[in-house]
Amino acid sequence: MAIMTVTVLVPDDDGVVALSEVAGVRPVRYTVGEPLPEEAAEAEVLIPGFAWSEDTPGLLERLPRLKLIQLLSAGAEDWVGELPPGVLLSTCRGAHGGSTAEWVMAVLLSTFRELGRFAGAQRAGEWAPRSTDTLQGKRVLIVGAGDLGRQLRRKLEAFDTWVTMVGLTARDGVHGVDELPALLPDSEVVVLMVPLTTRTRGMVDAAFLAALPDGAVLVNASRGPVVDTDALLAALRAERIRAALDVTDPEPLPADHPLWTAPGLLLTPHVAGSVRGARRRSYVVAVAEIERYVQGELPDNLVHGEY
């Protein structure tokens, strides 16, 4: 009996190498912005090397046998609801949890140990010793109990923090989002690690921020629109809380946007997962997902229903 071969469109040489040893897969290289290769007519799987745009539907129309889009990112919000009927969508959940959790640890340590202040003193040639706060013993609330949240919890607990997990639904060891009003007043740190969905968009509004204790630190490692920017600006300007953002709304952040100069804010340009080896780790997950598809199984990271 002949073995069926699945054609996979791959945007780079790393992907070709990663998929070349997978039984039943024929990786075909394509270049973003150039005409698709002839083999595209047979492609069942597409690994995008591009963000969703107004040109994407036209490209997908040229893939008549497309059955699965395998992302190299954990976020899928731009793709949900936009795909042709019958086309599955799988994310790269599990590839970037470690690096994103590392970024959260970095900004929390920088915030509590005031590394920015000491760096300023160094530039000014000032020897300015002072006592700082510490991450040790802090009560940390992680909103998002998936791979990212679990990776972060493991790292935080090594720093002797008290960690509480919140998921979109309650389960063993994880509180539900409906419990947030009771949890926020005791949380000295709140870290957002949820996907952007209809349920999480605008989750962090004025009421959410008002429930936090004075001096709390909000960290957004998810997506910008999870936080109401105007509400956050008001809380920062009142100097009641501090924040660290890797994502913003809008994004990219315009040069004249007030977030740039907001007090108590540490801001990075969506780089939490941008580390050496990130693409390789993405392909480890993508290859496993495509192997499941080729074997007639559903990918583990399949995006289901409302997102």
> What are the backbone angles phi and psi of residue 116, rounded to the nearest 5°?
-60, -40
Set 251, 279, 291, 292: catalytic member: 251
Domains and CATH numbers, the chain: 6-95+276-294 (3.40.50.720), 97-267 (3.40.50.720)
Is 223 considered catalytic here?
yes
Helix (H) or strand (E) holding 8: strand 6-10
- Please give the pLDDT value at position 161: 98
Query: Residue by residue, what is the 3-state secondary structure of 133-200?
Result: CCCCCCEEEEECCCHHHHHHHHHHHCCCCEEEEEECCCECCEEEHHHHHHHHHHCCEEEECCCCCCCC
| pLDDT tens by residue, the chain, 307 residues | 345 799 999 999 999 999 998 999 999 999 988 899 999 999 999 999 888 888 888 889 999 999 999 999 888 888 988 899 999 999 998 888 899 999 999 999 999 999 999 999 999 999 999 999 999 999 999 999 988 999 999 999 999 999 999 998 899 999 999 999 999 999 999 999 999 988 999 999 999 999 999 999 999 999 999 999 999 999 999 999 999 999 999 999 999 999 999 999 999 999 999 999 889 999 999 999 999 999 999 999 999 754 4
Is 175 considered catalytic here?
no
Set 150, 270, 279, 292: catalytic member: 270
Sign of CA dihedral 212, 216, 218, 219: negative
Query: Residue by residue, what is the 3-state secondary structure of 252-263?
Result: CCCCCCHHHHCC
The DSSP symbol for 287 reads H
Is 139 considered catalytic here?
no
